[in-house]
Amino acid sequence: MYLKNKTVKDMYKICVIEGDGIGREVVPATVNVLKATGVDFEFVHAEAGDEVFEKTGVALPEETINTAKECDAVLFGAAGETAADVIVKLRKILNTYANVRPVKAYKGINCLKDNIDYVIVRENTEGLYKGIEAEITDGVYTATRVITREACEKIFKFAFEMAKDRKKQGKEGKVTCTHKANVLKLSDGAFKSIFYEVAKNYPEIKTNDFYIDAMNMYAVLRPETFDVVVTSNLFGDILSDGAAGTVGGLGMAPSANIGDEYGLFEPVHGSAPDIAGKGIANPTATILTGVLMLRYLGENKAADRVEKALEEVLENKLTTPDLGGTLTTFEMAEEVAKRV
């Protein structure tokens, strides 16, 4: 999977932010799996989230930001009520403009279809998530949606490069753009037209586009027909959560935030306070997020070993209760680590 060309190093410095809720369980479990790969890591722990905010009044301390910038990658768990001030802010600070969310069916998991394997690439810096809101008069509120040519060109190039890489691995080599250009004629009209401009530089890659509402339907009816799907910020957030439901839920959904300088890796699920501390949180999404981080670092052989080990564990139901097993979070991760 194309994330970014990285120079393989003798040792990698990883900023580890467990955050809130089940982040404090699934991240340490994943760190143990990463240690089993034999890749030389230095894990530097940093704090962010609700508990830090309660103690200090700051959800994302400056020290944590500096640590993140000094490391080769960031492995993040989950944020609770302070998510907008932690993970959304950290994405912006690190300028990780591409949010990568694989949607893949694994044996042993109750999936809609067994041949689902595509990637949603979401523009990560613009759209409504810019947070430009105002109360223009009493009882009237506005939110400004920002779309720029520069950001569009960057995210489309990223998506096409990923499709090129996947084609080398035997995938179709296709990019689907999803938008709402029939209603948002100016902003999404530009999004769609710039997509096809960039596509001219990749004649070997197939292209098509769908309105976001239709795309939501097709993600359920024919998910096996997609390879790389590229879309804007809010649409990508909603679409990818729905797509996760076709392959077993958010507990199976990893993600990567990639920029020109930094890589920030986080499972899609939140802090899940209802099960936090019970030792039953499914670590799969975070382990798969670790796989994405390994690929970003250029450690593809180690990434392959972890993914294969996880596949064996899932197929043999050596899992947490939500996946039909009886193991705890750490016991499931240990089964993966043993196989790595």
Instruction: State the Cα–Cα distance between residues 189 and 25, nearest whole angstrom.
Output: 44
Residue type, 221: L
Instruction: State the Cα–Cα distance between residues 49 and 217, nearest whole angstrom.
Output: 35
- H helices present in 37-182, as ranges: 50-56, 62-70, 83-93, 149-168
Which of 20, 192, 237, 262 is flagged as catalytic?
Answer: 237
Q: Establish whether 180 is a catalytic residue.
A: yes
Query: For residue 328, what are the contacts with CB-CB under 8 A and spacing of at least 6?
Result: 279, 280, 320
Which of 97, 118, 129, 262 is flagged as catalytic?
Answer: 129
Alpha carbon separation from 70 to 15, 101, 192, 257, 291 (Å, rounded): 8, 25, 37, 17, 21
Which of 180, 192, 227, 262 is flagged as catalytic?
Answer: 180
Instruction: State the Cα–Cα distance between residues 24 and 36, nearest whole angstrom.
Output: 19
Q: Establish whether 40 is a catalytic residue.
A: no
Q: Half-sphere exposure of residue 167, counting CA atoms within 13 Å on the CB side?
A: 16
Instruction: State the Cα–Cα distance between residues 112 and 215, nearest whole angstrom.
Output: 16
Instruction: State the Cα–Cα distance between residues 97 and 70, nearest whole angstrom.
Output: 19
Place of tokens 């400056």: 62
Q: For residue 291, which of 237, 253, 250 has the smallest C-alpha distance?
A: 253
Q: Establish whether 129 is a catalytic residue.
A: yes
Q: Establish whether 188 is a catalytic residue.
A: no
Q: Establish whether 304 is a catalytic residue.
A: no
Instruction: State the Cα–Cα distance between residues 34 and 32, nearest whole angstrom.
Output: 5
Instruction: State the Cα–Cα distance between residues 236 and 176, nearest whole angstrom.
Output: 12
Task: Give the CA angle between residues 183, 189, 190 to the nearest 5°.
Answer: 150
Place of tokens 């613009």: 126
Residue 45 token pair: 């722990």
Which of 40, 114, 213, 260 is flagged as catalytic?
Answer: 213
Active-site amino acid positions: 129, 180, 213, 237, 241
